[in-house]
Amino acid sequence: MSCDNCAKDATQIRKEFQLCDRCYTVRYSTMTIDGEKMSLPDAFKLQLGKLGLGRKEGESIDQWSSRCKAWTNKTPYGKIIKEAT
Ligand SMILES: [Zn+2]
């Protein structure tokens, strides 16, 4: 059974829809930040922007990903990730 929105396997199956985890999260998950309820993708976008890690105009996904990885590697989280892999 595949997702109604993409080709991935559906993991969230209801009478009204069948979606993969990612599509379900994008459509239905919310987070409240500073008293404002927003979609999870919007919350991530807001938080990345606060860190200066928002996607720049003309920046490819690979470039953006590399910039975020470089930033993460400079933090204590990067050290933990390196030790765990
Ligand atoms: Zn999907």
Q: 63 C-alpha to center of ligand 1: Å?
A: 24
pLDDT of residue 85 exceeding 80, the answer is: no
Three-state secondary structure call for residue 26: helix
What pTM value is reported for the model? Answer: 0.70
Q: 42 C-alpha to center of ligand 1: Å?
A: 18
Q: 61 C-alpha to center of ligand 1: Å?
A: 19
Confidence bin at 25 (pLDDT 50/70/90): very high
Burial 23-43 (b: 16+ CB within 10 A, else e): bbeeeeeeeeeeeeeeeeeeb
Q: Tell me what the mean pLDDT of segment 15-36 comes to.
A: 95
State the average pLDDT for the chain. Answer: 93
7: Cβ contacts below 8 Å, ≥ 6 apart:
none
Q: 24 C-alpha to center of ligand 1: Å?
A: 7
Q: Ion ligand 1 — residues with CB under 5 Å?
A: 3, 5-6, 8, 20, 23
**Structure tokens of 2?**
């595949």
Give the percent of the chain with pLDDT over 90.
Answer: 86
